[in-house]
Amino acid sequence: MHIVLDDTAMAAAGQGNVLASRLIHRAHAEPGWFLYAPSCALVEADRARPGTAEHLASLPGVTVLDLDLAAALAIATQKTWAAAHTQYAAQPTPDRPDGAIVATTAPNRWSGEPVRVLDLTP
């Protein structure tokens, strides 16, 4: 299971959202569960809730995704860096042929986008 946290999910995890906490626990404790934090979304989450970036980056089950050239080019065509990097990270790759699911507390943000969504709204 490959899951990409958007900035709203990251901020929610820092505020004690039980669903986000379960994802973090599974990524740490269960084989086959992978949790990703796109760096641009991590910055936005930290702006919304200071300390979020440092906390999530320190968790062993969370992989922080760098902004590489391909991601930067994808971001250039979008309105916000956080959403664009998240969407880019969720796209299929050779490692993840089915792509990844975007975990969010703002599922309407992803309406009409080519991503699968996991609603973390309590």
- What does the pLDDT read at residue 80? 86
- Closest residue by Cα to residue 109 from 99, 119, 101: 119
Q: Can you give the pLDDT at residue 95?
A: 87
- What's the pLDDT tens digit per position in 21-55? 999 999 999 999 999 999 999 999 999 999 999 99
pLDDT of residue 115: 94
78: pLDDT strictly greater than 90: no
Q: Is 55 exposed, middle or buried (0-12, 13-18, 19+ CB in 10 A)?
A: middle
What is the reported pLDDT for 71? 84
